[in-house]
Amino acid sequence: MTPDVRPFVAGNWKMNGLSGSLAEIEAMRLGADAGEAGAAELVVCPPATLLAQAAFKLSGSKLGLGGQDCHPEASGAFTGDISAPMLKDAGASYVIVGHSERRTHHHETDELVRAKAQAALKAGLTPIVCVGETLAEREAGQQAAVVIRQLRRSLPPETTSETVVIAYEPVWAIGTGLTPTFGDIAVVHNGIRALLTEIGGPSSAKTRILYGGSVKPTNCREILTLNNVDGALIGGASLKAADFLAIAAAYR
């Protein structure tokens, strides 16, 4: 954890969830409002089809709401895409950009991720900018170089600790059940902190850095207490309120 930084736990539902899944969000709301996450800020990012309904349920709640992606343009002839102003209008306060699944399956570049982050900021959203290396890059010893390159190119110049959240997700650990050693996680997060301080100075030195990649109730406490790990971006374990809240309870 970083001193004087409020922890942050976000759930990325990915392409999962129908209207019946709103019951899980309601259970998360009850847990958040009951203080089950202590001082941590909690956010859930369901599919776009559930955002408006979820926002209605979360009105006045301590549980925040986020989108999973946005287009860099505010509007236009982009069939099937969702803009940052649309997410804001639907009730979101955050949006994930640059997730490895977008970078891999949709061939998103660092430059596109930066444009999306800037669009989010312009719309009044906080972007959660994701970075992380593949297994091949890790085995080639390129882990640090990849993460640093992605950060330098993906972060908008107006990044500050109040406007942007970073999420480090080693691609090979997402949905595989594999997790880096605690030492590996600490090294990367320390490196990200050093880079943020270098490129942004005091205004970004306390930017929250989340870890993502097979975070579960059984391993969260050790991960979330590591130096410069300020929270988690959770995938599969966020689909069930009990698991999501059990992870967040590490901050109680």
Sequence-ordered strand ranges (E) for the chain: 8-12, 41-45, 63-67, 94-97, 126-131, 165-168, 209-211, 231-234
Catalytic residue among 41, 101, 133, 169: 169
106 an active-site residue?
no
As a whole number of Å, the end-to-end CA separation of the chain is 14
CA distance linking residue 118 with residue 157, whole number of Å: 9
Residue 105 annotated to the active site: no
Task: Measure Cα distances from 13 to 25, 37, 49, 186 in Å.
Answer: 11, 19, 12, 26
Cα–Cα separations (whole angstroms), residue 207 to 37, 64, 74, 127, 128 = 20, 18, 26, 12, 11
Residues 99, 108, 137, 189: which is the catalytic one? 99
3-state class of 103 per DSSP?
helix
d(CA 252, CA 249): 5
Q: Is 177 exposed, middle or buried (0-12, 13-18, 19+ CB in 10 A)?
A: exposed
Q: Which residues are catalytic?
A: 99, 169
